[in-house]
A and B are shown apart, each in its own frame.
Chain A
Amino acid sequence: MVSEGGGALRLTFYDSFDWRLHRAGLSLRLEQPSRRPAKLCCARQGTGEEDCQDVAAVPRFADDLPAGRLRTRLQQVGGIRALLPLVTLRGWRYRYAVRNEDGKMVARCYLEQWRPASRRYAGSAPVGLVRLEPLRGYEVDTAAVAELLRGEELERTGIDLLQTALELVGRVADDYSSKLDVKLQPEEDAVVAVRRLLRSQVDVMRANEAGIRHDLDSEFLHDFRVAVRRTRSALSQIKGIFAEPALAPFRDGFAWLGAVTGPKRDLDVHLLQFPEQQRLLAPGQSADLLPLRLLLEQQQAAAGAEVVAALKSARYRRLMRYWQTFLDQGGTEFDGANARQPAAGVANSRIWRVYRRVRREGRAISADSPPADLHELRKSCKKLRYLMEFFQSLYPRNKMRRAISHLKDLQENLGQYQDQTVQLANLRRHSEELAARGGEIPVPTLLAIGALMDRIAGAHQQTRAGFARRFAAFYTPANHRLFRELFHTRGPSMADQP
């Protein structure tokens, strides 16, 4: 082993709130040596492969890094999510090269000692590590060295540094996901299952509150709204589980929450799509959209303030507190007629009913049906999707995944159609707002918006034309058999079979 130097260092690890880097097998850290410039390194976990770049500070979004491999890699994984500091360590590190009989380096060995930088952990003992990083093609040699080190009873070998850092501050990687992941039992009481499902959505909302309040990135609000929509959908779809009168205030409350957060989300979406929309225009014209961008940003800030105010309001606090209490209690007081049916039976009958609605509504749509019909179908599809996701743990995984993917393809078309409808309506409204400001707004801007609307309108028509094919792919005998097998013939207890 030959020393390659080292010294005192601060390390800060970063990831998005939903651990996108970690999930992609990456780990991002800022290294701040005491006397040299800081560098940002993105490592492929467990390989020693990494991209590094000198930086003055870590920007909130990968987009704002200097162009290069590091930026490209981070953008690919989670460009729209903010890079948030996970944990900062201070300590020292020395690096050694481990060489074989030819003098070829086969691994890097790090001797290091870390403690959390925050005062909160002032009392905790530092962790000393001996860490080995294999060089590509020399994994076998590295394993042999690791074996040797283990023989010496050194504290740890082959350890992922991020893992250690998280342990030091008592965090667990991958502790947040907006995905529904609640394990249900087919025979358990429907009301118990539904309470658990809804409770998981409360957790999602809670987890995203801080990110929304500090406006870290757009996806906190997005996940929050999905949880609200899922909750609302459950409240309206899963009938007979709770006593109706008890639900009314919650229905109102979550409807309000959906409405009060809507404008901000619309503006977030529009601004996220803005670069793409600019690309739809000729390079010369895309700069003319700038006044529109400024308008959107102003409105976004105002709408954001309203969201924050709503989350701080007594109404929100009360709603969440009562809702949590309602879900956490175990009594039969608020039971509806089907509360004590087995969960599987309720799931079957609800999903089957909405599935048949989707088929019916889709079948009725022809080339000259009004947009409203597609909008209705889209809402039904969404309800079906939520129901299937809610209860997915009750069904065979592969078949369920297949059924959901058919539905997803259809939803994609409907979703795109709706997006474009909204984009057109927004652009129309915004150009009116801009025009109302009179002479301040340059004519080229209005022209650019007009040109953009033309482009989107063209795409909109194409999406509409693609519907028939998408629906036909969903409306097949094979898919129908799959849905029937999953949701119609299972189990004897059909709570409210149509």
Chain B
Amino acid sequence: MKTIAIYSIKGGVGKTAAAVNLAYLCAQDGARTLLWDLDPQGAASFYYRVKAKVKGGARGLLQRNGELPGRIKATDFPNLDLLPADLSYRHMDLLLDESKKRKRAFGRLLEPLTDDYDYIFMDCAPSVTLVSENVFRAADLIISPVIPTTLSVRTLNQLSAFMEHPKLRDVRVMSFFSMVDGRRKLHREIMENLSQRRKGILRSYIPYSSDVERMGIRRAPLPEFAGRSAGGHAFRLLWREIKARIEDGGDGNRA
């Protein structure tokens, strides 16, 4: 089982779009896949038409260890299940703080699923909190979308600084450019510049595309309803590259 967290300190960068589409593509490859919607807003659940509600809420999830399997919902697509969001996830930080394994609670929750899934994707809310720490500890790989702006260097730096923590050294980090506007010279320059200076930046990127926005209307992953669109194509290339890197193993691709 590989656990992949889609994470960024910032909101609105395309995390949920990536989590929803990558998990879908992963399942399409035949891998048993679970998408855990950790954002109380429940956007990923919404895209999959699953009600953002979990029996017992965040408290129920954390208290009764091992009962996570009973809260999983099948999506409409083969091999892909979803653990929905719940409004009570807003209080997750507090609850984690009270719990015994403050930083390893998620990891423990996911343990019983080891044999059931090949990949687990976590769609995270933007923050640096106990929740994110739990996510980092549970993850094998963190994928971080970056919008090519002059500030993106800072965002990447913040993440790398965080990942220097000794307990997190085994976690791989990859970044990709999101919402790229190919017509803007600035975007192209920043991308070229950053890709040369840093490891762990994926070559595939996701263009700015109204197809991605249409996901909210269609309530389905992009490759499902617009597989041939530029956006659909971009996500497929992105997933292929990520998977190749995972299978390659190795390290040295720290952002």
Contacts and interface: CB of A to CB of B under 8 A. Distances in A.
Contacts of B81: 136-137
Contacts of A103: 49, 219
B174 interface: no
Contacts of B72: 136-137
Interface in B60-97: 71-74, 76, 81
Interface centre among A69, A102, A135, A137 (most CB of B within 10 A): A137
B50 interface: yes
Interface string A120-141: 0000000000000001111000
B51 A137 contact: no
A103 B49 CA distance: 7
Contact of A137 (B49, B74, B76, B219): B74
A97 B75 CA distance: 12
Given A102-B219, A135-B73, A138-B73, 8 more contacts: A102-B51, A104-B49, A105-B76, A135-B74, A136-B73, A136-B74, A137-B71, A137-B74
A69 B49 CA distance: 29
Interface in B28-58: 32, 48-51
Nearest to B51: A102
A104 B73 CA distance: 11
Contacts, number: 26
Interface string A87-110: 000000000010000111100000
B86 to A, nearest CB: 14
Contacts of B51: 102
Interface residues of A, number: 10
A98 B74 CA distance: 13
B70 to A, nearest CB: 9
A462 to B, nearest CB: 32
Nearest to A68: B30
Nearest to A134: B74
Across the A-B interface, give the 10 residue pairs with the lowest CB-CB distance, nearest first.
A137-B73, A104-B49, A136-B74, A135-B74, A105-B76, A102-B49, A103-B49, A137-B72, A137-B74, A136-B72
Interface string B210-239: 000000000100000000000000000000
Interface residues of B, number: 12
Contacts of B76: 97, 104-105, 135
Nearest to B220: A103
A137 B82 CA distance: 10
A104 B53 CA distance: 14
B75 to A, nearest CB: 8
Contacts of A137: 71-74, 81
Interface of A: 69, 97, 102-105, 135-138
Contacts of A105: 76
Nearest to B73: A137
B119 to A, nearest CB: 14
B219 to A, nearest CB: 7
B247 to A, nearest CB: 16
A138 B49 contact: no
Nearest to B55: A137
Contacts of B71: 137
A421 B250 CA distance: 47
Nearest to B82: A137
Interface centre among B71, B72, B76, B81 (most CB of A within 10 A): B76
22 contacts: A69-B32, A97-B76, A102-B49, A102-B51, A103-B49, A104-B48, A104-B49, A104-B50, A105-B76, A135-B73, A135-B74, A135-B76, A136-B72, A136-B73, A136-B74, A137-B71, A137-B72, A137-B73, A137-B74, A137-B81, A138-B73, A138-B74
A104 B50 CA distance: 7
A232 B232 CA distance: 71
B198 to A, nearest CB: 37
Contacts of A69: 32
A252 B32 CA distance: 58
A410 B129 CA distance: 56
Contacts of B73: 135-138
B128 to A, nearest CB: 32
A113 B1 CA distance: 40
A137 B72 CA distance: 6
Nearest to A50: B78
Contacts of A102: 49, 51, 219
A62 to B, nearest CB: 18
A69 B81 CA distance: 17
Interface centre among B32, B49, B50 (most CB of A within 10 A): B49
A60 B68 CA distance: 38
A58 to B, nearest CB: 20
A223 B49 CA distance: 53
A48 to B, nearest CB: 8
A17 B94 CA distance: 56
Contacts of A104: 48-50, 76
Contacts of A136: 72-74, 81
Nearest to B77: A105
B85 to A, nearest CB: 14
Contacts of B219: 102-103
A97 B51 CA distance: 18
A310 to B, nearest CB: 45
A136 B76 CA distance: 10
B44 to A, nearest CB: 14
Contacts of A97: 76
Nearest to B118: A69
Contacts of B50: 104
A225 B51 CA distance: 58
A381 B248 CA distance: 55
B52 to A, nearest CB: 11
A439 B171 CA distance: 58
Nearest to B81: A136
Interface in B113-130: none
Contacts of A138: 73-74
B220 to A, nearest CB: 9
A69 B219 CA distance: 30
A376 to B, nearest CB: 44
A136 B81 CA distance: 8
Nearest to A49: B74
A185 B219 CA distance: 66
Contacts of B49: 102-104
B79 to A, nearest CB: 10
B98 to A, nearest CB: 28
